[in-house]
Amino acid sequence: MATAVHLDGITKRFPGVVANDDVDLAVERGTVHALLGENGAGKTTLMNVLYGLYEPTSGRVLVDEEVRSFDSPRDAIDAGVGMIHQHFMLVDPMTVTENITLGNEPRKWGGLAVDRAAAREAVVELSDRYGFDVDPDARVEDISVGEQQRVEILKALYRGADVLILDEPTAVLTPQEVEELFGVLEELTAQGKTIIFITHKLGEAMRAADDITVLRDGRNVGSVNADETTREDLAELMVGREVLLDVDRPPAETGDVVASVSNVVVDDDRGVRAVDDVSFDVRAGEVFGIAGVDGNGQSELVEALTGLRRPQHGRIEFLGDDVTTDSRRQRIEEGMAYIPEDRQERGLVMDFDLTENALLGSQHSNEFGPNGRIDWPATRAHAEAIIDEYDVRPPDADAISESLSGGNQQKFIVGREFERDPELVVASHPTRGVDVGSIEFIHERLLELRQQGVAILLVSSKLEEVQGLSDRLGVIYEGEFIDVVDPDETTEEELGLLMAGEHPDEDDADVSPDATESSSAEAATGGDRP
């Protein structure tokens, strides 16, 4: 089979960092090739070299066995290489047709005007050819995330791409949209297109790819056929050691209600309703999970619970006390720990060292700030204990936070919050953007706290994470709880439908609305309300 792309000995250096170290990668035409690795392994840098965003320090780029030199993405596009980024580059108020043809519109009247009819016809023909179901006249702001992704793919195809690079393509999709994407990839390769997709998810690499290349520390540590490997083998290649992939969650021994959210309504920064009349309880010794596609009110709900945002209506209780108007500092002192979804904006001060970051949230405590003066030796000892216990690398309390990898930043935050000896941990996307080794570590620590009787609220868009760790699982859609389910009795397909705002087909003939409402309320609160 012919080689569509060959990256030959690619090295890319930045000041003080070797992002890619003599990487070889060969991708056969008409196949799907997964580029797998931990965060910081060099995957996106390597693809940015192929797409012309970076010039390699050394090495060659070959497309269709011809050596190419790309000074910009325009050069890569002219050579038939397109890239669909994780964050879509679409103009929301414009139509699907306008987005796909933007900058390359067919013209009429001697080039004086856009030929809108010809543009629409070209988009319809392209959609039909590849079996894409998109409305050429719909505005991008009115279509689903999965449809927006197909528009991005069509945009690249319209510009003549034969090789498509997809960067973390499933990050914002529901399970149904993921399956639809994989169907799109199969159709594209059946028609001779070549796909390279960047991922750190083992399952989707094995599901969608023909071949898989694993990068670790900027180097190619192995290329394998997807049908001839296992998740365990791939994880070991990624991390360099054996990794426990399955969550071992023993039965929960729940206690009293620790946190109670009642009829909470929260607006976002624009004054738009983000959380609409949500109620649930979290009990000691359980993980209560919240699943949903990003942007459905999870962030605002968590901010209201942790004291970062004032709800418009409703009541929040913690350990039996009304804390609805309490500050973040008060909630920390009362025993509420918080792992934020954005570690760099909310979890760390990036230009502080680890000793200073270990103090955050505890600067007023008698242990570290007696008499209003910081006890720096005690604070440094605390930081060093976190570094040692949570395997933060490099093990240096003087290291500046921004110098750490994302996974090590996350482990430090997890350690700092867990070491508060909390009654409640609010963990919002605790493994977002971290590698498989750090995921394993964080999951183990969360379950250890659960066994110690700590209440845990887990918010995650990763289905396998929230389903594997949770004892009860609320599904949020457009700011409302669609349902609260037993994750062990609910399939991934059913969860995907709930996350998309749809209930799985069921016989409702014998279920009255009042009975359904009562059942959902009981499930949400775990029994009697306090």
Higher pLDDT, 179 or 261: 261
Tell me what the mean pLDDT of segment 153-174 comes to: 88
Provide the sign of the torsion angle of the four alpha carbons 297, 140, 207, 64, taken in this order: negative
pLDDT given for residue 39 in this prediction:
66
Residue 229: is its pLDDT beyond 90?
yes
Average pLDDT over residues 291-315: 94
Residues 19 and 136 in one domain: yes
Does the pLDDT of residue 179 top 70, yes or no? yes
Chain segment 56-84, per-residue pLDDT in tens: 999 999 999 999 999 999 999 999 999 99
Residue type, 100: I
| Residue 319 domain flag | yes
Mean pLDDT of 225-249: 84
428 alpha carbon, distance to own chain's centre: 11
Residue 523, pLDDT above cutoff 50 = no
For position 512, what pLDDT does the model report?
37
Antiparallel, parallel or unpaired: β 424-428 and 455-460 = parallel
| Residue 326 sits in the same domain as residue 352 | no
Residue 101 falls inside a structural domain? yes
Average pLDDT, integer, range 437-455: 90
The answer to whether residues 196 and 268 belong to one domain is no
| Model pLDDT, residue 526 | 44
Same-domain check for residues 299 and 257: yes
> What tokens appear for 117 in the block?
């009819």
Q: Kindly report, residue by residue over 468-481, the tens digit of the pLDDT.
A: 999 999 999 999 99
Mean pLDDT for the stretch of residues 183-188: 91
* The pLDDT of residue 506 is above 70: no
For all residues of the chain together, what is the average pLDDT?
Answer: 89
Q: Which pLDDT belongs to residue 504? A: 65
Interstrand relation of 472-477 and 480-485 (parallel, antiparallel or unpaired): antiparallel
Count of C-beta atoms within a 10 Å radius of residue 311: 22
CA distances 383 to 333, 486, 513, Å, are 19, 38, 54
164 within a domain of the structure (yes/no): yes
Of residues 174 and 296, more confidence is placed in: 296
Supply the pTM of this predicted model.
0.66
Residue 405's CB: how many other CB atoms inside 10 A?
18
Give the CATH number, domain containing residue 56. Answer: 3.40.50.300
Task: Tell me the pLDDT band of 462, cut-offs 50, 70 and 90.
Answer: confident
Mean pLDDT of all residues in 429-454: 86
Domain stop point among 378, 393, 420: 420
Q: What mean pLDDT is predicted for residues 298-319?
A: 97
Enclosing H/E stretch for 99:
helix 96-101
CA angle 405, 410, 414 (to 5 degrees): 150
Residues 289 and 435 in one domain: yes
**pLDDT band per the 50, 70, 90 thresholds, residue 245:** low
Counting the structural domains of the chain, the total is 3
> Would 48 be classed as within a structural domain?
yes
- What pLDDT sits at residue 412? 94
Whether 341 maps to a domain, the answer reads: no
Final residue of a structural domain among 420, 444, 472? 420
Is residue 353, in this structure, part of any structural domain at all? yes
Asked if 55 and 203 sit in the same domain, the reply is yes
Query: Given this model, what pLDDT does residue 199 score?
Result: 87
**Helix (H) or strand (E) segment spanning residue 224:** strand 219-225
Burial class (CB in 10 A: 0-12, 13-18, 19+), 248: exposed
Inside any domain, residue 11: yes
Number of C-beta neighbours around residue 463 at 10 A: 18
Claim to verify: residue 485 and residue 389 sit in the same structural domain: no
257-267: strand order across its sheet: 273-283, 257-267, 313-318, 321-322
* Residue 500 CA: distances (Å) to CA of 175, 194, 290, 295, 487: 9, 30, 14, 12, 17
Q: What is the three-class DSSP state of 138?
A: coil
Query: What phi and psi, each to the nearest 5 degrees, are found at residue 139?
Result: -80, 140
Decide if pLDDT at 511 tops 60. no
Does the structure show a pLDDT above 60 at 513? no
| DSSP 8-state class, residue 286 | -
How many residues are there in the chain? 530
What share of the chain in percent tops pLDDT 70? 93
Between 426 and 40, the more confident residue is: 426
Would residue 362 count as lying in a domain? yes
Are 229 and 317 found together in one domain? no
pLDDT tens by residue, 335-381: 999 999 888 889 999 999 999 999 999 998 989 988 889 999 999 99
Q: 427 and 306 in one domain?
A: yes
Tell me which residue range forms the domain holding 284. Answer: 245-335+422-530
pLDDT of residue 517: 38
Least reliable range by pLDDT among 100-114, 219-233, 312-326: 100-114
Checking if the pLDDT of 508 tops 80, the result is no
Asked whether the predicted pLDDT for residue 173 surpasses 90, the reply is no
Rounded Cα distance, 180 and 63, in Å: 28
In this structure, the answer to whether residues 292 and 356 fall within a common structural domain is: no
- Clarify whether residues 467 and 518 are in a common domain: yes
Residue 69 burial class via C-beta count within 10 angstroms: exposed 0-12, middle 13-18, buried 19 and up: exposed
Q: Is the pLDDT of residue 384 over 50?
A: yes
Do 206 and 123 reside in the same domain of the chain? yes
Domain boundary among 395, 420, 445: 420
Average pLDDT for residues 491-508, to the nearest whole number?
78
**Average pLDDT in the 4-22 region?**
93
Instruction: Tell me the average pLDDT across 38-67.
Output: 92
> What backbone phi and psi angles, to 5 degrees, belong to 162?
-105, -25
What is the average pLDDT across 294-316? 95
